[in-house]
Structure 1
Amino acid sequence: MQIKADPLCADAFAPYGDVLDAEGTPDRIINQGMCGRHHDRARLSFEDGRAGVSIFNAIPRSLPYVCDLLERHPLGSQCFVPMSSHPFLVIVARDDHNRPGAVRAFITNGAQAINFHQGVWHGVLTPLHGPGLFAVIDRIGEGSNLEEVMLDAPVTVIA
């Protein structure tokens, strides 16, 4: 199957997670008027654990991209904040009886981060340009917080 990656926007991504960006008027002005704060932009969860910040360095991929594996984190959310201004590919699927359902794909605009809600099926980190450096905020704790599923039929993502 082949799907087209759509530009990432908050409304379309809402069933899967949060889009973090600095669009619009800041919620607060802080630091003596020198900083706009776009406040509380992601629904983070860390069931029976704590928040941790890690640095991921992923190898860039290109389109068309063949996705044959999805994963989810049943015990917490996972937030990806790019450390460069390059777009990256985001692949998601709704849950269908503990298996991934229909797959969707998005491309960020280079100034967006994303947060996958707890339990959301998603593709692996897929930068489209180097460096593939991301700060990742996710659950640190006991228990298995990773489920991986090979897709019955790979999905090819095109631009």
Structure 2
Amino acid sequence: MTQQIPIQPITATAFAPFGDVLNCAGEPDKIINQGKCGRYHDRATLDFSDGRAGISLFKAELRALPLILDLMERHPEGSQCFVPMSHDAFLVIVAQDAGNAPGTPLAFRTEPGQAINFHRNTWHGVLTPLTGTGLFTVIDRIGAGDNLQEHWFDTPWTVIDP
């Protein structure tokens, strides 16, 4: 028997304990490129213990709901930013730390055009596109040492669309 996690819309306030929501809400911070481009400046806090920021491409398989959540991971040495390369929403699953293991997970659905940045050491589910190409730009720590901790749940959770 699994416990259920209802998906909720992502907001900057609800997601703040886990990371940053990146979007083009409001007026741009600056107009550039001969007045043809709005710059929404410094939307995520990248945080690395050492190493450097790197840009990688991830191509994830599309998932379907309901989704069985049996694994969460975190990166103790650096934040991790996911920017979809299509105009599609995706699923984001996070949890507070509960003594070196994830607490009760929360599930958020982004809006098309949004990206997210996980704070360093935040428990999160794996990349979970529900529609689109599954192609993402990922900005994270490149450096020596182990930057991945995984937790497998004894009893999985089921993510549902309420």
Q: Shorter-chain TM-score category?
A: over 0.9
AA matched with 2:28: P
User: 1:124-157 deviations in whole A, cap 9, x for unaligned?
Assistant: 0000013100000000000100001101221111
- Structure 1, unpaired ranges of 5+: none
Length-normalised TM-score, structure 1: 0.98
Select the residue among 58, 75, 79 that pairs with 2:81. Answer: 79
Number of the residue aligned with 1:6: 8
Partner of 1:116: 118
CA distance in 2, matches of 1:54, 1:136: 5
1:38-82 deviation line (CA, Å, top 9, x unaligned)? 110001012111000000000000111111000000000000000
1:148 aligns with 2:150: yes
| TM-score, with length taken from structure 2 | 0.96
Aligned 1:30-41 pairs, distance under 5 A? 30-41=32-43
Distance (Å, rounded) in 2 between the aligned partners of 1:130 and 1:28: 30
* SS of 1:100 mapped into structure 2: coil
1:111 corresponds to which letter in structure 2?
G
Instruction: Tell me the secondary structure at the aligned position of residue 13 of structure 2.
Output: helix
Q: Aligned-pair RMSD on alpha carbons? A: 0.8
**Unaligned regions of 5+ residues in structure 2, if any?**
none
**Cα displacement (A) at 1:32:** 2.2
Contact residue 27 and residue 38 of structure 1 kept, 8 A:
yes
Q: Find the residue that maps to 2:14 and give its secondary structure.
A: helix
- The one-letter code of the counterpart of 2:59 is N
Match of 2:140, SS? strand
Secondary structure of residue in 2 paired with 1:12: helix
Is the contact between residue 59 and residue 130 of structure 1 (CA under 8 Å) also seen in structure 2? no
Share of identical aligned residues, percent?
64
Residue 105 of structure 1, CA deviation: 0.3
